[in-house]
Every structure is written in structure tokens, then in C-alpha cells.
DNA sequence: CTTATATTCTACCATTTAATAGAATGATGG
DNA sequence: CCATCATTCTATTAAATGGTAGAATATAAG
């Protein structure tokens, strides 16, 4: 009887690791590709010491591993399934927590809500790519792009968007993507490009979900 | 920036809810079918007050809902996907937490380990059933069986196993199943039936996983 | 209207978690 | 070997969580 409870308690370590917003932010960053502690601390807006402590927690939950490379510790997700786990949590939360809807719409609040900003699903994107009618735009920072991206995507980090407009076609549909469904980068990019007359839509997921679905990456 | 963190904090409520062994026990019971607080408290070995508090926590995480039926509150999983979520957590834990292996083998420790107790997978079970060569035995308590079971399964709760042997064939393979991979009931049943000369194997998952896979239930 | 039953809520205490600042460790490069 | 840089560890504090016992609430039944 206590054996069973010990087992459930150990399993609960996984849940515990998932039970903190900062740790979810760290996982989202790690889903883009491996990273050192300082990088992780910066993207999750934590002090290095605090980030390190959270990473230990994620380690105890079996969600990440680390290995040393010179002076740095490079952290990875242990497993591609963790991206799936996070997606499932999002699904469950969006379906069952009233709070979520409000928060999601507030996160994307600058929406001019002319209805035109509707996101494109993975299936639609795939068929668009197969037809060759879509240009893919990755608006994540360069290091994340380098660590892996969708095939044939162009990388224009959001800050450089206006400076690199000449890389984008005016006469083809563009699909912008970033880190995942709760990442605002692609949303912001779509708004700014639309204002300039481009035909752009947002991919409703991100690089990690694409990769976890077993689709090809570069 | 705080919008994003609020959203992640809310999402973390789901993780928090999964981050406690007693709550996982409650969820496992609810995966068998709806139940009232006292039933849940008994199966999870908690006081009613404490079970109620944990159930509120699961509610806040969007994992369960409740509605009143007379004097009782009947709790349900909000979603079949929660069974998938739990399976994924198990997979991740078994792959990445060294601790788990030890605990799983200790849970099933009475194993005479003659190698014969190897469990049967869902695919194998399905093909056995299609060939009609397998008798299905559900060793869960009657109320859980009544709330849903695999097609054509015979219900013999573990306590009544020896008293109801005449329902079981000696000349056909029997597959015993129960609540899930960490449920010892079917394991215990297999051991006892083998000692009596039956050809029995254990299904390596349980009723909830079968149902969540979209397979037919009665 | 009173009583009994099922559940939730409240108040309290012990334990765990999260955060901070600063010390300690490990690896690299002069 | 010494200085530097990246990370982890060690207090310390504030807040959240988990547990218990008993009061409060809601429904049903007499």
C-alpha cells in the first residue's frame, strides 16, 4: 500500500515540475532547442540563481537534462514527448478553465479584430506549402532559428522586421510563426506587415509543435 | 509581459493539480468512472475533508467537475484527454526517472519472476480478441465494472476470485485487466490463477487507457 | 420543522516552495 | 597558479500547501 503511494508520489514529481509558470517558460524556451543557464534565465526573466534552482526542479521531474560544455551547462528537454505533454496541458486548460480564454485574448489584445487575423492550422499550412503558394517567415531570434526551423523558412527576428522587408514577397501569401501558440512574436509581425500591405497570416502553433508532430525540420 | 506570465501561471494550475500523489490516486479512480466524495476518499485512503480539499484543487486545475445528485456530489474527469495526460506523464517518468523502475518493480514484487508473467499489449490483446481465442477477465470491484468495461469481459472482483472459478475456462487463454498499469489487482489475480493451472496473462494497461484509445466499451 | 447525511468551509499548525544575496565550485586562459 | 566566468549551493525569509478537527451548509426524509 505504501509502495503504491511512493510510486504515485514519484510520478507527482513530474506534475510538480509542471506546476509553476516560470518553469513552463523555461520549458517553452527549451522546446526551441538546447540552451545555457544564462540564456534561459534571460528569456524567462529570472535571476541566474533562481533559474538554476528551477532547472534542478525540472531535472528531478525528469523533464530536462544537462551536460557541461566548457564553462557552460547546456540544458535540453529529455524527450520530444514533453512538447506533447505541454500541448495537452494547454488543450485541457483552454477547454476547462474559464480564466484561460480571457488571458489568451488579453495576451493578443492589440488585435485590431477586423477578423482578418485568423490563424492558419498545421493542416492548412501543409497543403499551402505543398502547393508552393506560401512563404514561411520565422520571427524568432536568430539563435533559436539556427537551432532548428521549418524547411525553407526565412528568418527575420521581429526587431529587424522593417529593416529586412526586401526579403519578403508582396504578391504571395506569407505565414509567420514563432515559439508556439502563446508566443506573441508572430502575432506582432502579422499586424505590422499587414499595415504595410502584405498578405500575412499567423501559424497557430510554433516550431516545437511542428517538430513534435514528426514533420521535417532544418 | 505580465500578461504572458499570468497565462503561464494559470496553465501551471493544471500542473499543480497533477503534482501530488493523492490527487493522482483520485484521478486514477475517476478514470474508472464518476464517483462521490466518500467513495473517492476511501479508494485514495484519505479523510473525507481532505479528499474534498484535493478535489477542489483538481477543479481549479480544470481536471474534474462535479454536480450534485441528491445529497451527494458526483465527480467526473472533465475530459477523456486527462487519461492521455496521465499516460504521458507515466511514460516520461518511466523513461527519465531512475527511481521509477525500482518502485514499479517493488510494487509488483511478489512476482515469482519465472518470466512467465509478461504482460500483453493492447495490440496483442486486440488480435487475440479478433481471433476469439481470449477470455477477458475484469478483476475490479463491481461498481467500477458497472460504470464501464471492455466488451464481453467477465467481472470477478479479486476478493471473490476463488469463489467464482467456475466462470473461467481452463482450456483457453485468459487476459486479466484492472485500473491501469500501476494497479496490482490483475497482477495478483494472474499469480493466483496461474498457481491453479490457468493460462493467464495480464493486460499491461487498464480500462481507462482502452477507453481513451477510442476502443469500444460497454 | 427536525433530524440525519454528504460535503464544504474555517482555523490552526507543520512542511514545502520560491525568491534573494552571497559564498563555493568547476573550467578556461593567461 | 591566479583571475575570470558560468553555474550551483547555502542560508534566510515570505508565501503556499497539506493535513486535522470541528463548524457550517445543503439536501432528503420523517
**To 5 degrees, how large is the angle CA A106–CA A112–CA A118?**
80
A-chain CB neighbours of B182 within 8 Å are 4, 7-8
The DSSP bridge partners found for residue A137 are A154, A176
- Separation between Cα atoms, residue B192 and residue B164, nearest integer Å: 13
CA distance B188 to B185: 5
On the question of pLDDT at A39 being above 60, the answer is yes
pLDDT at A177 over 70: yes
The pLDDT of B34-38, averaged and rounded, is: 98
Q: Residue A5: in which H helix or E strand, if any?
A: helix A2-18
Residue in B11, B5, B15 with CA at minimum distance from that of residue A22: B5
Region of poorest pLDDT, from A10-14, A46-50, A147-151, B116-120: B116-120
Q: Specify the DSSP class assigned to residue A68.
A: E
Element (H, E) at A13: helix A2-18
pLDDT at B126: 97
The predicted pLDDT at position B2 comes to: 85
CA angle A96, A97, A100 (to 5 degrees): 125
Instruction: Kindly report, residue by residue over A115-159, the tens digit of the pLDDT.
Output: 556 899 999 999 999 999 999 999 999 999 999 999 999 999 999
If we measure between CA atoms, which residue out of B183, B179, B187, B182 comes closest to residue B211?
A: B179
Could you give the CA distance from residue A64 to residue B97 in angstroms, rounded to a whole number?
11
B19 and A16: CB-CB below 8 Å? yes
Q: Place A77 in a pLDDT band, splitting at 50, 70 and 90.
A: very high
Residue B112 confidence (pLDDT) above 70: no
Whose grid coordinates read 500542473? Answer: B15
Q: Which of A17, A31, A44, A178 is catalytic?
A: A178
Q: What is the pLDDT of residue A112?
A: 55
Q: Which residues pair with B144 in a beta bridge?
A: none
- Read off the pLDDT band of A37 (50, 70, 90): very high
CB atoms within 10 A of CB A131: 8
Cβ < 7 Å from nucleic strand C? A 16, 19-20, 22, 46-47, 49-50, 53-54, 57, 68, 70-71; B 36-38, 48-49, 52-53, 55-56, 66, 71-73
Distance A69 CA to D6 C1' (A): 11
**Mean pLDDT, chain B, whole residue set:** 94
Confidence class for position B212, pLDDT limits 50, 70, 90:
very high
Please give the average per-residue pLDDT across B13-28, as a whole number: 98
Give, as one character, the DSSP assignment of residue A132.
T
Where does the pLDDT of residue A113 fall: very low under 50, low under 70, confident under 90, or very high at 90 and above? low
Whether A20 and B20 lie within 8 Å, measured CB to CB: no
Least confident range from A18-27, A133-142, B1-10, B129-138: namely B1-10
* Residues of B annotated catalytic, as ranges: 178
Could you give all domains of chain A from N- to C-terminal order, each with its CATH number? Answer: 2-79 (1.10.10.10), 102-212 (3.40.250.10)
Q: Name the phi and psi angles at A134, rounded to 5.
A: -125, 135
* CA–CA separation, A113 and A12 (whole Å): 41
Q: What is the 3-state secondary structure (H, E, C) of chain B?
A: CHHHHHHHHHHHHHHHHHCCHHHHHHHHHHHHCCEEHHHHHHHHCCCHHHHHHHHHHHHHCCCEEEEEECCEEEEEECCCHHHHHHHHHHHHHHHHCHHHHHHHHHHCCCCCCCCCCCCECHHHHHHHHHHCCEEEEECCCHHHHHCCCCCCCEECCHHHCHHHHHHCCCCCEEEEEECCCCCCHHHHHHHHHHHCCCCEEEEEEEHHHHHHCCCCCC
Output the pLDDT for position A20: 98
- Which whole number is the average pLDDT over A196-209? 96
CA separation for the pair B178, B162 (Å, rounded): 17
Residue A155 CA to residue A55 CA, distance in Å, equals 29
As a rounded value in angstroms, the CA-to-C1' distance for B56 and D26 is 17
CA–CA separation, B136 and B171 (whole Å): 14
Q: Is A191 within 8 Å of A184 (Cβ atoms)?
A: no
For residue B147, pLDDT over 80 is answered with yes
pLDDT of residue B111: 57
State which H helix or E strand residue A201 sits in. strand A200-206
- As a rounded value in angstroms, the CA-to-C1' distance for B70 and C4 is 14
Residue A108 has pLDDT above 70, yes or no: yes
Give the C-alpha separation, B39 to B46, whole Å.
10
pLDDT at residue B62 above 90? yes
Distance CA A116, CA B99 (A): 51
Tell if the CB–CB gap between B62 and A107 is shorter than 8 Å: no
CB-proximal positions of chain D, under 7 Å: 5-10, 17-23, 26-29
Amino acid at each position: 500500500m505504501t509502495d503504491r503511494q511512493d510510486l504515485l508520489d514519484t510520478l507527482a514529481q513530474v506534475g510538480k515540475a509542471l506546476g509553476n509558470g516560470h518553469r513552463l517558460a523555461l520549458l517553452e524556451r527549451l522546446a526551441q532547442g538546447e540552451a545555457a543557464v544564462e540564456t534561459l534565465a534571460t528569456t524567462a526573466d529570472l535571476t541566474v540563481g533562481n533559474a538554476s534552482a528551477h532547472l534542478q526542479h525540472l531535472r528531478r521531474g525528469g523533464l530536462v537534462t544537462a551536460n557541461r560544455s566548457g564553462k557552460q551547462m547546456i540544458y535540453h528537454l529529455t524527450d520530444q514527448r514533453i512538447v506533447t505533454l505541454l500541448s495537452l496541458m494547454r488543450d485541457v486548460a483552454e477547454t476547462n478553465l474559464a480564466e484561460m480564454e480571457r488571458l489568451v485574448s488579453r495576451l493578443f489584445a492589440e488585435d485590431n479584430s477586423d477578423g482578418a487575423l485568423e490563424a492558419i492550422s498545421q493542416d492548412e499550412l501543409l497543403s499551402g506549402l505543398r502547393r508552393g503558394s506560401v512563404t514561411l517567415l520565422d520571427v524568432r531570434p536568430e539563435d533559436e532559428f539556427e537551432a532548428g526551423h521549418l524547411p525553407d523558412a526565412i528568418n527575420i527576428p521581429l526587431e529587424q522586421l522593417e529593416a529586412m522587408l526586401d526579403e519578403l514577397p508582396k504578391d504571395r501569401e506569407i505565414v509567420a510563426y514563432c515559439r508556439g501558440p502563446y508566443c506573441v512574436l508572430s502575432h506582432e509581425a502579422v499586424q505590422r506587415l499587414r499595415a504595410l500591405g502584405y498578405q500575412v497570416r499567423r501559424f497557430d502553433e510554433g516550431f516545437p509543435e511542428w517538430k513534435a508532430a514528426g514533420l521535417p525540420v532544418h
